[in-house]
Amino acid sequence: MPLDSPSLIVGNWKMYKTREEALDYINELAEKVKGTSNEVVLAVPFTILYSAAKAAKKTPQIKISAQNMNDAKEGAFTGEIAAKMLTDAGARYVILGHSERRRYFGETNEFINHKVKRALKEGLIPILCIGESKEENESGKREEVLRAEILEGLADVHLKDGKELILAYEPIWAIGTGVHAGGKEAEEAHSFIREVLKEKFGDEIASHIKILYGGSVNPGNTKELLTGKNVNGLLVGGSSLDVNTFDHIINFNKQVNE
């Protein structure tokens, strides 16, 4: 996408930060993002959701996301969190289908699909993660894997507006490895994803669905990754934990223009 177009930058904190650490971070970040045209979302642990959402209210550029949820409306599911609990705590988004959930907790496309539908029903914007493994990439199965994860993950999903859904392409081989897709490779994958979304939802809705790139994102590769017209933002892991590093990613276009 053009360098002067607003991007959506999502920081996924995973299992890091206490409430006090989170509040200090958000207060510092609020000063740094004043005047930025980019949108910022922080995906924080469940224990921090309410406090983070309350702290972020005074900064329009910052919104809060959860990192996961259960697919049931409510029930006897010890240790689980329902979508309506997330919205009640102040979350606007929820990450679903992250490769760590698929790999470590055995989440299937079918289960993730149930979560997507529940999130939409409860007024949350799902950030649906998809991506192929190193073996799948090297054997030429990337598009096959992405198509299945998109169509199965979005089965029976009907959108009134493309802004109700976000996709995040996170090649598994790039997550936490220090290796990332180049700008050209990221755009190729995102372009394919856009075509599958058009098949599913039609051109109008698909054109408004933001597709993020994730996987070893850092200040040094931000500009390259965001040059693709179908790369509408970034899902940032480890580099979002330090407020100064994350600031350099968020404000990459401001720095380029300067």
Of the residues 39, 136, 170, 187, only one is catalytic, namely 170
User: Annotated binding residue at 237?
Assistant: yes
Assess whether 107 carries a catalytic annotation.
no
| Identity of the residue numbered 39 | E
User: Annotated binding residue at 216?
Assistant: yes
Per this entry, what is the length of the chain? Answer: 258
| Phi, psi angles (nearest 5°) of residue 16 | -135, 155
Of the residues 98, 149, 164, 180, only one is catalytic, namely 98
- Beta partners for residue 10, in sequence order: 41, 235
**Which of 8-21 are b and which e, b meaning 16 or more Cβ less than 10 Å from the residue's Cβ?**
bbbbbbbeebeeee
Assess whether 143 carries a catalytic annotation.
no
Helix (H/G/I), strand (E/B), else coil: 42: strand
User: Annotated binding residue at 232?
Assistant: no
- The CB density around residue 240, as the number of other CB atoms within 10 Å, is 27
Closest CA to 118 of 109, 126, 110, 130: 126
Dig out the tokens for 242 from the structure: 């330090």
- The CB density around residue 125, as the number of other CB atoms within 10 Å, is 18
User: Annotated binding residue at 13?
Assistant: yes
User: Annotated binding residue at 238?
Assistant: yes
Question: Which of the 8 DSSP states describes residue 23?
Answer: H
| Phi, psi angles (nearest 5°) of residue 125 | -95, 115
- Give dist(CA 74, CA 35) in Å, integer: 40
User: Annotated binding residue at 173?
Assistant: no
User: Annotated binding residue at 207?
Assistant: no
Q: 168: burial class by Cβ within 10 Å (0-12, 13-18, 19+)?
A: buried
Q: Which residues are annotated as a binding site?
A: 12-14, 176, 216, 237-238
Q: Which residues are annotated as a binding site for substrate?
A: 12-14, 176, 216, 237-238
Catalytic residues: 98, 170
